[in-house]
Amino acid sequence: MKRKIFYATLLVFGSLLTVATAQEGDKKRPNILWIVGENLKLDLGCYGAPNVKTPHLDALAERGVRYTHVFSTSPVCAPSRSAFFTGMYQTSSDTHNMRSHRNDDYRLPEGVRPLTHRLKDVGYFTANIKTLDGVEVGSGKLDLNFVNEGPLYDTDKWEDLKSRQPFFAQVNTLEAEYDIYDRQTWRQPRVEWKGEREHEQIATEQNVTPPPYYPDHPLVRKEWARYLNSISGMDKTVGRLLEQLTRDGLADDTVVMFFGDNGRIEPRGIHWCYDTGLHVPMIIHWPKNFPAPASYRPGTVDDQVISLIDITPTTLGFAGIPRPLGMHGRAFLGDRLGPPRQYAFSARDRIDETVNRIRSVRGRRYHYIRNYYPDRHFTSLNRYKEKCFPIKPLMRQLMAEGKLDGPPAALMAPQVAEEQLFDTVEDPHEIRNLADSSNPEHREALIRMRAALAVWMVETQDQGVFPEPDEIVAPFEKEMHDWFGTPDWYEGRP
């Protein structure tokens, strides 16, 4: 607890500011709708992605602001959501390990509060939408690494919003996610995507081009097409939500924020601190019945570096709530802007049964990654991925047969470099490590970002330095084995 005293003290003051804001009177406040896209990178038509059909999000971007340099604080859902739902890095609040604190008495540090609780203080009705006219449009997913903070939402039905304003509503899209929670589904040879049978087949095995760190193989192209078609399916759900806002007469009073919770659901994406696991889309549209912030320019593209943790104070600002003192994020849009962000910091720790520790620093151009366990990389066992991502077992097979070379073979190597540096402009797939480069520009970027990471870890009191005890990790090992089994290649290993 001593590690948290500094932040707790500051956040208590922030709570007092929230209470003071609640006493401002009956000031009219906009509704706020978060549409949280599960597991996607910048794979929308408005970002130039091929083989997808996303007319509703493309139109939202034309009417709003499209952001190009937004990064999640974690490449997996629960730690990422724990951060942007509180405004505190998951590595500072001890919520950095995947699905931790589900069965203990853990509470958030003193003064750290869920976003919805702060909004309710000033009169917001809160919703985590699952159904619209009886049809499932959202997962209702929370997936937070804290469960003892009391009710977070007032309803899960869209129909309740029209009579309860101002509201804050969140919809978690269903489509870019494997349907593993139906045991009959995941027992099949191929695990389906949510709603896959209804996805329009825009992408096909013949017209897609997977990234070069995968082998050119029919299975890889087929899996890539499945993912892209899930994004086209997601856009239809977004369209239905936006059309319902208009039909209900709510569109002109509602700020719409669309963003991804973490990166792309692919073997080298989700769980890993490459851009594919961290780089997410974001679109914000401002309603005409409220004066737009001075920095809001509809129809524009914004390339400032943003961390998903920044959406917390930004959302509070939309509701008229000042950024609580000590909150890690900065407001990037609104009337009380924070200082420009030079870097977005991210972290990966234990995910399910797979123990690891990776830290990431992302600027506008360069990306620095620190791997604390170089022997635990892409080939490490994670039973969920072994079952749901057929590309990974395929690559094991091809590697054993001597049929991989270039970036795919490098990805299958037993170790990864302790430090990685990528020029994301020249090398968008992040396959050329520049950490040992003699180029002065690269060396300067490496030294600068290495130092920035060291400072960030100290300032935010990164708790990933403290390993979880074996008695905490062991139940995850058993749970993943019970769900997915253990692949033959791993049997017998410690």
Q: Mind giving me the DSSP string for 123-142?
A: T-EEEEEEEETTEE------
The DSSP symbol for 95 reads -
Q: What is the pLDDT of residue 324?
A: 94
Predicted confidence band of residue 190 (pLDDT cuts 50, 70, 90): confident
Vertex 428, ends 424 and 432: CA angle to 5°? 80
Question: Is residue 261 pLDDT above 90, yes or no?
Answer: yes
d(CA 335, CA 317): 8
Token readout for 201 is 């087949």
Predicted confidence band of residue 193 (pLDDT cuts 50, 70, 90): confident
Q: What is the mean pLDDT of the chain?
A: 92
Neighbours of 167 (CB within 10 A): 25
d(CA 287, CA 167): 14
Q: What is the pLDDT of residue 184?
A: 60
Q: What is the pLDDT of residue 26?
A: 60
Q: pLDDT digits over 337-390, tens only?
A: 999 999 999 999 999 999 999 999 999 999 999 999 999 999 999 999 998 999
| Dihedral sign of CA atoms 293, 298, 304, 305 in order | positive
Residues 230-253, mean pLDDT to the nearest whole number:
97
Neighbours of 50 (CB within 10 A): 12
Please name each of the domains of the chain with its CATH number. 2-490 (3.40.720.10)
* Cα–Cα nearest to 283, from 346, 321, 235: 235
Show Cβ contacts of residue 371 under 8 Å, excluding neighbours closer than 6 positions.
358, 377, 416, 417, 418, 419, 420
pTM above 0.85, yes or no: yes
Q: What is the pLDDT of residue 439?
A: 97
d(CA 205, CA 218): 7
Token readout for 147 is 């469960």
d(CA 178, CA 185): 9
Q: pLDDT digits over 124-166, tens only?
A: 999 999 999 988 999 988 899 999 999 999 999 999 999 899 9
Strands 344-348 and 419-423: unpaired
Residues 193-204, mean pLDDT to the nearest whole number:
89
Phi-psi region of 291 (alpha: psi -120 to 50; beta: other; left: phi over 0): beta
- Provide the percentage of residues in the chain whose pLDDT is more than 90: 82
d(CA 142, CA 132): 18
- Taking CA atoms, 48 is separated from 11, 45, 58, 256, in Å, by 41, 5, 10, 22
Q: pLDDT digits over 207-222, tens only?
A: 999 999 999 999 999 9
